[in-house]
Amino acid sequence: MNFLEEKILMDGTIKQGNLLKIDNFLNHQIDINIMRQIANEIKHRFQDVEVNKVLTIEASGIAIATMVGCLFDVPIVFAKKGESAIVSEDKYESLAYSFTHKKINYVFVSKPYLQATDKVLIVDDFLADGQASLALIDIVHQAGAQLSGIGIAVEKGWQKGGNILREMGVRLESIAIVEEMDWETQSIRFRNQPKCKLYRSC
Amino acid sequence: MNFLEEKILMDGTIKQGNLLKIDNFLNHQIDINIMRQIANEIKHRFQDVEVNKVLTIEASGIAIATMVGCLFDVPIVFAKKGESAIVSEDKYESLAYSFTHKKINYVFVSKPYLQATDKVLIVDDFLADGQASLALIDIVHQAGAQLSGIGIAVEKGWQKGGNILREMGVRLESIAIVEEMDWETQSIRFRNQPKCKLYRSC
């Protein structure tokens, strides 16, 4: 069991509706030590590929992207959602449905910040249905850039995003893949791991 | 002239309506070297105060907060905007009007992530009317926590936020304070600096 799976067991909660709540260390409050480890692990897993830009989507992907960009020593781009009075018309656009917020997000990146010469590593905190990743891949392709891979902290293995991306031939690395969760027993099973109750009682 | 003022002169653009566009290195694409320097400068300016938590507001404050939290080696909390299906009712709430997006944002932090024992450094990329900072201060006070100060990358000195915060006695450190800008001549004046044209022609 790796550091992130252990952290989820220690500090995660399963809410009714099988929602994994780990916003105490990943995406509301951020445990900087776990974030450093996540970034180091993503850097390690993509050490053999060329990366000259890290791409994510606002908001909660930005912390991981910043740490990963720092390790690769490359610029970070975060795709924005919705309209802004400042951003120019000169942008790549895609759409992503957010199941969390139950709305379609208009996702965009200003054209100058993605070039055909870019080798792009996409990173995000969660992968579920893959809507955000697919929108970002669409944008990378519109720019004529090369996708180096996708690095994810927590993948919800029973949702379709991981399968879609792997079947597309995308190099996808998820540090923790949650295979199943049960709210009533507060138990969780990670891919290739035994089922455990939260708070470390495996 | 410091590194951030020089970077703005080199890479910034003034758009019609006196909008400073520096999203090529600060808040859409992120130049990781500038971000490291911003974080180091904020750490340096607050080296004499106690900080055990860094607080910002999504989305574009997250990159600076992550780097600053990394240097202080403390947790980062980013206040969220709007509603979410996951976050519990147990939260501190405030309101902030966004002049950029022309709407009122509902700003919140889950209560467990701010404690009365916390000594909080607020950081953000921009300070204009101070709406976001005032909402974050309100939340810090609701938690009974102590405000250690506010660290800002770029302050718009002709807008009221800086004055309001300084008159409140808040320790505010802004790395670059834009005093005036002129779209027609693409010129800019930083506080205590001569007026310069963009692209370094001072």
Q: Which residue of A has its CA nearest to B72?
A: A32
pLDDT at B169 over 70: yes
DSSP secondary structure, B73-111, as one string: T--EEEEEES--SSS-S-EEEEEEEETTTTEEEEEEEEG
Whether the CB-CB separation of A177 and A162 falls below 8 Å is answered with: yes
CB-based contact, A87 to chain B, within 8 Å = yes
- pLDDT tens digits, residue range B80-130? 987 544 445 799 999 998 777 778 889 999 999 999 999 999 999 999 999
**Token pair 């147990």 is at which residue?**
B90
Would you kindly state where each structural domain of chain A is located, as residue ranges? Answer: 3-197
**CB pair distance less than 8 Å for B59 and A58:** yes
- Residue A168, phi then psi, degrees to nearest 5: -75, -10
Residue A201: C-alpha distances to residues A28, A185, B89 (Å): 26, 12, 28
Tell me which chain B residues have a C-beta less than 8 angstroms from the C-beta of A60.
58, 62
**CB pair distance less than 8 Å for B29 and A74:** no
- pLDDT value at residue B83: 55
Q: Give the CA dihedral B37, B38, B41, B46, nearest 10 degrees.
A: -150
| Structural domain A3-197, CATH architecture | 3-Layer(aba) Sandwich (3.40)
ipTM over 0.85: yes
- Residue A97, phi then psi, degrees to nearest 5: -85, 130
- pLDDT value at residue B202: 62
CB-based contact, B169 to chain A, within 8 Å = no
Tell me which chain A residues have a C-beta less than 8 angstroms from the C-beta of B110.
23, 28-29
Tell me which chain B residues have a C-beta less than 8 angstroms from the C-beta of A76.
29-30, 32, 63
CB-based contact, B86 to chain A, within 8 Å = yes
Alpha carbon A26 to chain centroid distance? 11
Q: Distance between CA atoms of A20 and A178, rounded to whole angstroms?
A: 9
State the nearest Cα–Cα gap between B124 and chain A, in angstroms. Answer: 14
Among B100, B63, B95, smallest CA distance to B82 is for B95
- pLDDT tens digits, residue range B27-80? 999 999 999 999 999 999 999 999 999 999 999 999 999 999 999 999 999 999
Q: Which residues of A123-142 are buried (b: 16+ CB within 10 A; e: fewer)?
A: bbbbbbbbbbbbbbbbbbee
pLDDT at B157 over 70: yes
Q: Which member of A84, A102, A113 has the closest CB to residue B101? A: A84
Alpha carbon B27 to chain centroid distance? 11
- pLDDT tens digits, residue range A48-68? 999 999 999 999 999 999 999
**CB pair distance less than 8 Å for B85 and A74:** no
**CB pair distance less than 8 Å for A30 and B113:** no
